[in-house]
Amino acid sequence: MTRSRRIGLLGGTLDPIHVGHLDAAEAARAALSLDEVLVIPAHDPPHRAGEPHASAFHRFAMVSLAIDGRPGYRASDLELRRDGPSYTALTLRDLGARGLQASQLYFIIGADAFAEIATWYEYPAILDACQFALVARPGTTIEEALARTPDLRNRVGQTIHLVPAKTSPASSSGIRARLAAGDAVDGLVPPAVGRHISTHQLYRTVNELHGQD
């Protein structure tokens, strides 16, 4: 009997996507034998104050460039095409309507974000809408995330899967700050993403002040 196809979901503002995101996705893919990873930039991230700094067009382009040449990775515009807040619960519902089961979907989440999961839309029902791949992140260990969500420990090994990987400390906010200051971001984003940022002059202070892309 063949097992069901396993699909990883890497979501977020991805403003910009960086090597830490890719480290987490690859760690989950390897640990959980994922057949495919969908990278899904958010249209309107509900847990972030203000609009994304780069447009949906540029963020989707950077995701596409970041995963180019990575077998099994695919950029998805599922949330970019949907109006309103980009709630993960709605994305999982959309995927379910396409015939995918909760047991097939593995939402890849850093320990820092997982520690705040009780604030998510449709919590706790969302816990039954997919599997969670909980990946360690610099600054927040898996154990620290579980300590802040003690009621969820009984789900570990069932719908919450621990991925104690080492991931880059890169952060989107830190990258934006470096770019605004005119500093290099080599090694923090994939080279193709860096070239796209440079070509389109993204994240410069003048762009943020005037709302340009």
β-partners of residue 73 are 37
Range of the domain at 87: 7-168
β-partners of residue 75 are 39
H or E segment and range at residue 160:
strand 160-163
| pLDDT on residue 6 | 98
Mean pLDDT in consecutive groups of 10 residues from the start of the chain, 213 residues: 88 97 98 98 84 94 98 97 95 97 97 95 97 95 96 96 95 96 96 98 66 35
> Does residue 13 lie in a domain region?
yes
Number of domains comprising the chain? 1
| pLDDT on residue 213 | 32
> Does residue 181 lie in a domain region?
no
> Does residue 54 lie in a domain region?
yes
| pLDDT on residue 50 | 72
**To the nearest 10°, the Cα dihedral for 10, 14, 19, 22?**
10
> Does residue 90 lie in a domain region?
yes
What is the CATH number for 95? 3.40.50.620
**To the nearest 10°, the Cα dihedral for 169, 173, 176, 182?**
-70
> Does residue 212 lie in a domain region?
no
| pLDDT on residue 210 | 38
| pLDDT on residue 1 | 56
Cα atoms found within 13 Å of the Cα of residue 31, Cβ hemisphere only: 22
DSSP secondary structure, 7-70, as one string: EEEEEE--TT--HHHHHHHHHHHHHHT-SEEEEEE-SS-TTSSS--SS-HHHHHHHHHHHHTT-
> Does residue 36 lie in a domain region?
yes
Contact 79, 117 (CB under 8 A): no
Question: Which residue from 127, 171, 174, 176 is spatially nearest to 153, judged by alpha carbons?
Answer: 127
> Does residue 206 lie in a domain region?
no
Contact 68, 38 (CB under 8 A): no
| pLDDT on residue 142 | 96
> Does residue 116 lie in a domain region?
yes
pLDDT tens string 74-98: 999 999 999 999 999 999 999 999 9
User: Among all chains, which residue has been given the structure tokens 């992140």?
Assistant: 137
Q: Which conformational region is residue 122 in: left (phi greater than 0), alpha (psi within -120 to 50 degrees), or beta?
A: left
